Amino acid sequence: MGRRRKLRELMGAIKDKASQSKAAILCKLNTNTLSSSSSSSSSSSLHLTLLRATTHDPFTPPNPKSLAALLSFGLSSRATASSVVESLMDRLQTTHDSAVALKCLLAVHLVIKYGSFILQDQLSVYPAGGGRNYLNLSNFRDDSTPVAWELSSWVRWYAQYIENLLVTSRLLGFFVGSNSCVVEKDREEERVSSLLNANLVRETESLVSLLEEICKRPESLGLGGNRLVIEVLGLVGKDQISAMNEISVRVNEFDERLNCLSFSDSVELLGALKRSEDCEGRLLAVPNVKNDLVAGFWGLIREMKTKVGKEKESNNKLVATMRVERESFSESARFGDRVLRPSDSVRFSSARLAVNAFHLSTIQSCAR
| Same-domain status, 136 and 168 | yes
Reply yes or no on whether the pLDDT at 168 is more than 50: yes
Distance CA 73, CA 210 (A): 29
The answer to whether residue 1 sits within a structural domain is no
What value does the mean pLDDT take over residues 66-87?
Answer: 93
Q: What is the pTM of this model?
A: 0.78
3-state secondary structure of 26: helix
CA distances from 36 to 19, 79, 81 (A): 21, 18, 20
The answer to whether residue 34 sits within a structural domain is no
Reply yes or no on whether the pLDDT at 194 is more than 60: yes
Reply yes or no on whether the pLDDT at 220 is more than 90: no
Q: For 110-154, write each residue's pLDDT tens digit.
A: 999 999 999 999 998 887 555 455 788 999 999 999 899 999 999
CATH number of the domain enclosing 104: 1.25.40.90
Across the chain, mean pLDDT equals: 81
The confidence band for 350, taking pLDDT boundaries of 50, 70 and 90, is: very low
| Same-domain status, 127 and 233 | no
Distance CA 307, CA 312 (A): 9
346 against 305, higher pLDDT: 305
| Same-domain status, 158 and 194 | no
Q: Which of 144, 175, 206 is the last residue of a domain?
A: 175
Reply yes or no on whether the pLDDT at 26 is more than 70: no
Which of 245, 238, 269 shows the shortest CA–CA distance to 188?
Answer: 245
| Same-domain status, 168 and 290 | no
- Can you say how many angstroms the Cα of residue 339 is from the centroid of all Cα atoms in its chain? 63
Instruction: Tell me what pLDDT residue 126 has.
Output: 81
Instruction: Tell me what pLDDT residue 30 has.
Output: 52
What value does the mean pLDDT take over residues 292-321?
Answer: 83
Q: How many CB atoms lie within 10 A of CB 346?
A: 8
4 against 270, higher pLDDT: 270
Contacts of 41 (CB under 8 A, 6+ apart): 27, 30, 31
Total tally of structural domains belonging to the chain = 2
End-to-end CA distance of the chain: 115
Residue type, 251: V
Listed range (55-69, 204-218, 332-346) with the worst mean pLDDT: 332-346
Which of 132, 47, 140, 61 shows the shortest CA–CA distance to 91?
Answer: 47
